[in-house]
Chains A and B, each alone.
Chain A
Amino acid sequence: MSAVPARALSAVVDVDARHAPNGHPTGNSNGHSPNPVLDPVYALPFPKAALPVLRDSQLRKNVAHAIDVIQAKRARLVEEKSDWQALRAAGARIKDEALEHLDTYLVQFDERCTAAGGHVHWAADAGEARRIILEILREEKAEEVIKIKSMTATEIQLNPFLESAGIRTYETDLAEIILQLGEGEPSHIVVPALHVNRSQVREIFARRMGIENLSDDPRALTAAARSYLRQKFLKVPAAIGGANFLIAETGAVAVVESEGNGRMCLTLPSTLITLAGIEKILPRYNDLEVMLQILARSATGERMNPYTSLWTGVQPGDGPQKFHVILLDNGRSPILGRRTERQTLRCIRCAACMNTCPVYRQTGGHAYGSVYPGPIGAILTPQLMQMKHAQSLPFASSLCGACYEVCPVKINIPEVLIDLRAQVTDLERKGLARFFDPMYLGMRAAKLAFSSAGLFHAAQKIARVGMRFFTGKDGWIHSLPGMGAKWTQTRDLRGLPKQPFHAWWTDRPDRTDRNDQNDRQKRAAR
Chain B
Amino acid sequence: MSAAADSRSVVLERIRAATRNWDRAADRSAPVHAEPSPNYIRRGAMTAEARLERMAERLREYDAEVVECAPETLVAAIETQLTASGRRSFVVPEGLPKDWLAQRFDWKIDDGLTSDAIEQTEGVVTACFCAVAESGTIVLHHGPMEGRRIITLLPDWHLCVLRESQIVETLPEYFDRCAQPPQFITPGLVTSQLVTPRLVTWISGPSATADIEMTRIKGVHGPRFLHVVIVRD
Contacts and interface: CB of A to CB of B under 8 A. Distances in A.
Contacts of A508: none
Interface in B115-146: 115-116, 119, 132, 134-137, 142
Contacts of A266: 149
A286 B175 contact: yes
Given A233-B221, A312-B199, A333-B11, A259 B207 contact: yes
A363 interface: no
Interface string A78-106: 00001100110110110010011011001
Nearest to A412: B31
A315 B199 contact: yes
11 contacts: A69-B210, A82-B41, A103-B12, A174-B209, A191-B211, A267-B149, A292-B202, A303-B134, A318-B142, A319-B149, A319-B199
A310 B210 CA distance: 23
Given A65-B213, A90-B38, A318 B150 contact: yes
Contacts of B149: 263, 266-267, 309, 318-319
Interface in B149-184: 149-150, 153, 171-172, 174-175, 178
A473 interface: no
Interface in B7-35: 7-8, 10-12, 14-19, 21-24, 26-27, 31-33, 35
Interface string A467-493: 000000000000000000000000000
Contacts of A522: none
A259 B11 contact: no
B32 A96 contact: yes
A221 B220 CA distance: 10
Given A174-B211, A191-B210, A288-B175, A89 B38 contact: yes
Given A90-B40, A306-B207, A128 B7 contact: yes
Contacts of A315: 142, 198-199
A505 interface: no
A264 interface: yes
Given A234-B119, A278-B11, A260 B200 contact: no
A127 to B, nearest CB: 11
B93 to A, nearest CB: 11
A309 B222 contact: no
A92 B116 CA distance: 44
Q: Which 5 residue pairs across A and B have the least CB separation, nearest first? A: A260-B222, A337-B18, A260-B221, A303-B135, A304-B204
Give the interface residue-count category, chain A: 35 or more
A155 interface: no
A49 B18 CA distance: 33
A122 interface: yes
Contact of A317 (B148, B207, B215, B217): B148
B85 interface: no
Interface of B: 4, 7-8, 10-12, 14-19, 21-24, 26-27, 31-33, 35, 38-42, 58, 62, 112, 115-116, 119, 132, 134-137, 142, 148-150, 153, 171-172, 174-175, 178, 196-215, 217, 219-223
Interface in A280-308: 285-286, 288-290, 292-293, 300, 302-308
A336 B18 CA distance: 6
Given A288-B175, A293-B171, A308 B39 contact: no
A132 interface: yes
Given A249-B196, A333-B15, A290 B40 contact: yes
A323 B204 CA distance: 26
A197 B211 CA distance: 10
A290 B115 CA distance: 35
Given A303-B134, A318-B149, 15 more contacts: A83-B40, A102-B19, A193-B211, A218-B213, A219-B217, A222-B217, A259-B221, A266-B149, A285-B178, A293-B171, A303-B58, A310-B199, A333-B14, A337-B17, A339-B26
A278 B8 CA distance: 11
Contact of A289 (B23, B24, B58, B171): B171
Contacts of B206: 306
B10 A222 contact: no
A20 interface: no
A499 interface: no
Contacts of B204: 302-307
Contacts of A318: 142, 148-150, 199
Interface string A194-218: 1001100100000000000000001
Nearest to A343: B32
B208 A261 contact: no
A306 B214 contact: no
Contacts of A193: 211-212
B22 to A, nearest CB: 7
Contacts of B39: 83, 86
A399 interface: no
A183 to B, nearest CB: 17
Given A128-B7, A288-B175, A318-B148, A100 B40 contact: no
A153 interface: no
A308 B209 CA distance: 14
Given A173-B211, A312-B198, A93 B33 contact: yes
A367 B223 CA distance: 38
Contacts of B198: 116, 250, 252, 311-313, 315
A327 interface: yes
A132 B58 CA distance: 44
Given A123-B7, A264-B221, A258 B208 contact: yes
Contacts of B171: 289, 292-293, 304
Given A226-B220, A264-B221, A307-B201, A103 B16 contact: yes
